[in-house]
Amino acid sequence: MHQNWVGIQAAFLKDEEEKLKKDHSLKSKLGVLVHQAVLHLVPFFVHGTQGVGHKTELYGTPYSLSEDIVSSYRMHPLIPDVFDIDGQKVNASDMTNWKARGIINRFGISKLAHAWGHQPPTTLTLHNYPDFLTKIIMPGEDGPRSMAVIDILRDRERGMVRYNQARRQYGLQAAGGSEDITDNADLVEELRSVYKSVEDVDFLVGCLAESPRPSGYVISNTAFYVFIINASRRILCDRFYQESYNAETYTAEGLAHVENTSFKSMLLRHHPELKNSIGDVTNAFMAWTGTADYSKLQPKTSSGGEGHAEL
């Protein structure tokens, strides 16, 4: 993401870009995915997309988020059912809807942030939706709802193409059968029992089933390709990141604020007591490495009453 924004500025990548344009035999050497990713994205990585004077590129359609990027963001399996907060086990179901205020009042934002920063997410795979999201009870509704069902329903009603068709539209090789989606024999049989054809496999189901994945990958190869393309395009399509990214639009102070603000600095601006908790990580979206001084992470009191967490 950083390279999407500022560019790598590496000469060897420019050379590779030219080689790929001239030598199509490299397709077989690098693989279709790598070839297409490099060919499409090296210009973004090398030159970056930030800066004054760039012209907005709409790619033939008004700026919008496509259904494939929306579907790729359906990441509910990442949520654990239980959180460890201040040495106490707290069910995720007790942190939702009208119950959330009680948890904030009980622990305070700082302790919650410390817990979320240190506890790793669960995996984006099939059969891993948190239990509480498979039996949601909403006010005024009869019976529980399953977020897993809702995710599939929303994709279908909004016209999201199925897994294989999405891969074709991105120039990726379509799966010839369930065994091309996953190397898990049980999932292969399960996909065959649920879908009449591999062409019917829903996009989200296919992405969650994909394996093996490269070391360190949280998302599937297909979802990664969707993200890496759209990460650049959402910047190129937005005039406020392109020709309007200037002091006239943002003011000089505004530009300086954008350039010098990170997720970590924003957290520490509002909650300086989290400094030791975050530790030495530069990117606060990564797992935090510090330890908590719980004497400094107590809920703050306000005029709202004793123990009222300051938001």
Q: Please identify every residue annotated as catalytic.
A: 73
Q: Select from 8, 79, 55, 40 the least CA-distant residue to 231.
A: 40
Specify the DSSP class assigned to residue 304. T
Using alpha carbons only, what angle is made at residue 74 by residues 72 and 76, rounded to the nearest 5 degrees? 145
Question: Can the peptide bond before residue 299 be classed as cis, meaning omega within 30 degrees of 0?
Answer: no
Query: Integer distance in angstroms from the first to the last C-alpha of the chain?
Result: 29
Burial 190-218 (b: 16+ CB within 10 A, else e): bbeeebeebeebbbbbbbbbbeeeeeeee
Q: Select from 50, 44, 6, 1 the least CA-distant residue to 245.
A: 50
Specify the DSSP class assigned to residue 129. S
